[in-house]
Amino acid sequence: MFESSLKQLGDALRAKRISSVELTQSYLDRITRLNPQLNAYITLNPEMSLAQARAADARIAAGKAEALTGIPFAQKDIFCAQGWLTTCGSKMLHNFASPYDAHVISQFNSAGAVNLGKTNMDEFAMGSSNETSYYGTVKNPWDTTRVPGGSSGGTAAAVAARLCAAATGTDTGGSIRQPAALCGISGLKPTYGVVSRYGMIAFASSLDQAGPMGRSAEDLALMMNVMAGFDERDSTSLQREKEDYARDLSKPLNGLRIGLPKEFFAAGMGADVAKAVEAAIAEYKKLGATIVDISLPNSKLSVPVYYVLAPAEASSNLSRFDGVRYGYRAPEYSDLADMYEKSRAQGFGAEVKRRIMIGTYVLSHGYYDAYYLQAQKIRRLIAQDFTEAYKQCDVIMGPTSPSTAFKLGEKGDDPVQMYLSDIYTIAVNLAGLPGMSIPCGFGDNDMPVGLQIIGNYFDEARMLNVAHQYQLATDWHSRAPQGL
């Protein structure tokens, strides 16, 4: 059961071989047993989960089931869910129970899915290792001495350890794809604007995007069918016709043009990662694809551009957490200004404070033109590089992360090295393109390696097809951590 795909679980539920209550309880029991050693979940509410499961069983009995009805999912703790604590991995929101549902949550509820719980994450989605959470570090299920990646590390660990059928994540600079790679699962960051950001606590509004994380491309397609769609409450939501993201899964790959950017295969990538990625490219050749050498000359500037723009937006977005209306408030203060200062000083962690300070600096008088404005100009050049590349190829491939999962605490004292963990993923967010990561082998210490697939705007269905055909030919995506 824990190894079943979403389609297989849906078939079993509709055939009444198992009930949603039984399935949900099985996952809750597994979470109770394994979560203490992985710390993948922040909040559980078995009563609410089982109530949803009972409602799903009634819906199935009435013949009104949809593809995901009755299936238990985990939700990253960045999505507001009515009646659930929504902490964003921060002391600042440790006591915040959301009065409403995020669009993503309401979409899953409308589909009849079950919310198992809220997964751990880097504080306010700021991190690449899930070590900045107020609720403690998440452990990688493949090796609990190593990080799961971030910021969606709790989601990735939960999916890899079979603590849910699948789960949601968010990606601002690689936070779906990088943890997916490090934990050996599949994850998709859609085109910016395809999935509504309403009710998703903002980090960097022009970069944040919600997406699915699961075991396979087929699972991601079924989740995208639920998650995607126009939402008038989100000014960045794109008004497009609904599409079936699973429609092209079975198409052969004959004639597919895969672009390999020379900048992705330069110094900095681990030899073990390179070996696995090259083997995956060779498999695609067998499936009928052709290889095209391309260049993304400005991609080397993506990390410095990102760490100007993202903190700038964060400094603005996080100004609302002031101890006045909701969230943490310092217990002692002398006046209003003192309350602001102490609440924010005590409520935010070190990484969040660092990024707020950087963002405030680059937006300040005398530095806006030198840093923020220049970064926006380079962002446009990065997007133009991709536009030119897609004149030569259909999809772009390369490594998701320069290395496999590193040891807990290994990069904690060197923020720049931590930031470089996202060197292959950030450009995709800056350009607003869709990107995904799928398992493609194992590197040193038997840790998973991820293959990144980058598509043109609104090309998610083609990317899912490309990933699915590879997964039909290989079994990397079906491997699970042993001993759990």
Local confidence band at 429 (pLDDT 50, 70, 90 cut-offs):
very high
Among candidate residues 151, 152, 299, 302, the one labeled active-site is 151
Our answer to whether residue 175 is catalytic in this structure is yes
Quote the CA–CA distance of 86 and 96 in Å, as a whole number: 6
Domains and CATH numbers, the chain: 6-250 (3.90.1300.10), 300-377 (no CATH)
Among candidate residues 49, 175, 403, 437, the one labeled active-site is 175
1-45: per-residue pLDDT in tens?
899 999 999 999 999 999 999 999 999 999 999 999 999 999 999
pLDDT at 266: 81
90-137: per-residue pLDDT in tens?
999 999 999 999 999 999 999 999 999 999 999 999 999 999 999 999
Percent of the chain with pLDDT over 90: 94
pLDDT at 414: 78
Q: Is 379 in contact with 305 (CB distance < 8 Å)?
A: yes
Quote the CA–CA distance of 200 and 170 in Å, as a whole number: 9
pLDDT at 421: 83
Predicted TM-score (pTM) of the model is 0.96
Q: Is the pLDDT assigned to residue 413 strictly greater than 80?
A: no
Residue type at 279? A
pLDDT at 64: 96
The residue count for the chain: 484
Average pLDDT over residues 422-451: 97
Residue 360 CB partners (closer than 8 Å, separation 6+): 315
Local confidence band at 420 (pLDDT 50, 70, 90 cut-offs):
confident
Q: Is the pLDDT assigned to residue 473 strictly greater than 80?
A: yes
Q: Is the pLDDT assigned to residue 148 strictly greater than 80?
A: yes
Average pLDDT over residues 73-96: 97
Q: Is the pLDDT assigned to residue 399 strictly greater than 90?
A: yes
Least confident residue range of 174-178, 380-384, 413-417: 413-417
Local confidence band at 268 (pLDDT 50, 70, 90 cut-offs):
confident
Q: If you average pLDDT over every residue of the chain, what do you get? A: 96
pLDDT at 417: 79
The C-alpha angle with vertex 197 and arms to 192 and 198, in degrees rounded to 5, equals 155
Q: Is 182 in contact with 446 (CB distance < 8 Å)?
A: no
Our answer to whether residue 206 is catalytic in this structure is no
pLDDT at 415: 78
Among candidate residues 19, 20, 76, 343, the one labeled active-site is 76
Our answer to whether residue 316 is catalytic in this structure is no
